[in-house]
A and B are shown apart, each in its own frame.
Chain A
Amino acid sequence: MATLQEIMAKEPALASGHRMCAGCGIGSIVRTVLAASDKPVIVANATGCLEVVTTIYPYSAWKVPWIHLTFENAAAVASGIETAYRALRKRGKIGKEVNIVAFGGDGGTYDIGFQALSGALERGHKFLYVVYDNEGYMNTGNQRSGATPYGASTTTVPAGTKSFGKPQWRKNIVEIVAAHRIPYAATAVNHNILDLYNKAKKAFAADGPSFIAALQPCTTNWKYDPALTMKYSKLAVETNFWPLYEFDHGKLHINYKPKNRKPIEEFLKGQGRFRHLFKPENKHVIETMQKMIDEEWERLLKLEESGAVL
């Protein structure tokens, strides 16, 4: 089991000088996931925050081979790389073993990238897909995505006198992915480095596609002080807003069960995107949110207990 000291001793795959917002949560995700690979890594990146901030011509922060094509095809590009890898190895043209990672934001994964992701999973390519989930189209200023939580205000579904923000809950991307019967799928969060690292390690060892949905608080668009990114990650987990679990060959294992689940208000407080929920007329939204979170948690517990395999 690696320690944080061992993980941090590895040279980060991302160099400084990129244009992430001060306090961005993506950096620790990328560093940790790529550190977990014991082979050289090739990265396919969808359009979005990570791609834009790390590769503004003529500056690239990537130390590893990296490709960006368009918004919806990180999984398809990774499939192409993976197939080329198999073909060229078969033909004796390359000797080194590699790991292939696709990075996409929630927009490029839950929404526009959904088809390519599903196709790649169904075909069984050996690659790891990591979604850095900041719950909206954040690179373009907080538009609503399929990952945006219930009650959040975004620019395309803003809170107002006639609206409390997003009226739908988000997709359960990890279960959808796990239903493709892939070897490994998990949630993770950017502050729990060891959990993310171990999950990435399992993912790289999987004999087929693997998937990690890493929650990534976004200071600019969730609207909180940049220093508090990790605080919100921790609250997300402690309130069961973002449970940490994994599907290992279809079997659910919940990694962390808070002894005293914090009420969802603790997470919502201080985030500009949820500020409107603290108005008296929106109290019902928080109540509904709490109910949904609790029901979802119960369902997860039951699923884990049942030992059922997806």
Chain B
Amino acid sequence: MSEKKGWKELMRGSDLPPASSLEYKTGSWRTLRPIWDPDKCTHCMFCVAYCPDMAIPVKVTEEGVKGFGGRVYKGTVRLETNFDYCKGCGICAEECPTHAIKMIREEEAAKASK
């Protein structure tokens, strides 16, 4: 995060530019991390819709991606969770209809990635 500005440098009247919150990485709040298994995913979009932090990005694809049962899912598909912002609330794991998301301790994820 950038250094704090003095009063002469601030935008007038406490105004702020749009989406300036992207500088604030809430991923540091996490104690649990969602592990998403694309092979079980039906790209139903529930996790995307429910994530309070818009931390599950999507893309629109014509050719599609392989998902649950080896099927190809076209149109809007989810991508890997954006761990810069994911707070680890666990809603995605709880709501996933195919149990494609598992919550693990953040420390374990750190160990696994080493």
Contact, chains A and B (beta carbon distance below 8 A): yes
A22 touching B60, Cβ below 8 Å: no
Query: Counting CB contacts under 8 A, is B65 at the interface?
Result: no
Q: Is B95 an interface residue (CB 8 A)?
A: yes
Check B58–A59 contact: CB distance below 8 A: no
B24 at the interface (CB under 8 A from A): yes
A64 vs B19: C-alpha distance in the bound complex, in angstroms?
Answer: 9
Contact A230 B21 (CB under 8 A): no
Q: Which residues of A contact B45 (CB under 8 A)?
A: 4-5, 7-8
Chain A: minimal CB distance from B74 (Å): 9
B38 interface residue per 8 A CB criterion: no
* B16→A19 contact, CB < 8 A: no
Contact for A16 among B50, B58, B85, CB less than 8 A: B85
**B113 CB-CB contact with A under 8 Å:** no
Query: What residues of A have a CB within 8 angstroms of the CB of B19 in the complex?
Result: 15, 60-63
* Cα distance A46–B14 in the bound complex, in angstroms: 17
CB-defined contacts of A18 to chain B, threshold 8 Å: 21, 24, 26, 53
The listed residue (A19, A25, A26) touching B26 by CB distance below 8 A is A19
| A205 interface residue (CB < 8 Å to B) | no
Q: Which residue of A has the minimal Cβ distance to B92?
A: A227
Alpha-carbon distance A270/B22, docked complex (angstroms):
34
A27-35, A98-106, A236-244: which lies at the interface: A27-35
| Residues of the B chain whose Cβ atoms lie less than 8 Å from the Cβ of A17 | 21-26, 85
Closest to B74 in A: A5
Q: Which of A118-136 contact B (CB under 8 A)?
A: none
Residue from A12, A14, A23, A191 within 8 A of B89 (CB atoms): A23
Q: Is A208 an interface residue (CB 8 A)?
A: no
Q: How far is the CB of A218 from chain B (nearest CB, A)?
A: 11
B88 proximity list for chain A (CB < 8 A): 22
A31 touches which one: B54, B91, B94 (CB < 8 A)? B54
Determine the chain B residues whose CB is within 8 A of the CB of A62 once the complex forms: 18-19
> Are A16 and B55 in touch, CB under 8 angstroms?
yes
CB of B16 within 8 A of CB of A58, answer: yes
From A20, which residue of chain B is reached at the shortest CB distance? B52
A23 to B53, CA, bound (A): 9
CA distance in complex: A273, B45 (Å)? 31
The answer to whether A8 touches B94, judged by C-beta atoms less than 8 angstroms apart, is no
Q: Inside 8 A of B46's CB, which chain A residues have their CB? A: 4
Q: A16-B54, A27-B54, A57-B16 are in contact. Are A4 and B49 (CB under 8 A)?
A: yes
B6 located at the interface, meaning its Cβ lies under 8 Å from any Cβ of chain A in the complex: no
- The answer to whether the Cβ of A299 comes within 8 Å of any Cβ in the partner chain is no
Contact pattern, B 90-111, Cβ under 8 Å of A = 1, otherwise 0 = 1101110000000100000000
- Let me know if A290 is at the binding interface, CB within 8 A: no
A20 and B52 CA atoms in complex are apart in Å by 7
Q: Which of A6, A15, A225, A228 contacts B21 (CB 8 A)?
A: A15
In the complex, which residues of chain A have a beta carbon less than 8 angstroms from the beta carbon of B14? 57
Contact B60 A14 (CB under 8 A): no
State in angstroms the CA–CA spacing of A57 and B11 once bound together: 11
Which residues does chain A contribute within 8 Å of B25, judged by CB atoms? 17
Our pick among B21, B82, B91 for the contact of A229 (Cβ within 8 Å) is: B91
Judge whether B17 is part of the interface by a CB distance below 8 angstroms.
yes
Complex partner residue of A32 from B22, B49, B51, B94, CB under 8 angstroms: B49
9 smallest CB-CB distances across A and B, nearest first, come from A227-B90, A17-B21, A27-B52, A23-B89, A16-B85, A22-B87, A22-B89, A5-B76, A15-B19
Q: List 5 A-B contacts (CB under 8 A).
A: A16-B26, A17-B21, A63-B18, A193-B49, A230-B50
Instruction: Give me 5 other A-B pairs in contact (C-beta within 8 A), A9-B75, A16-B54, A24-B52 excluded.
Output: A22-B89, A27-B52, A28-B51, A60-B17, A229-B89
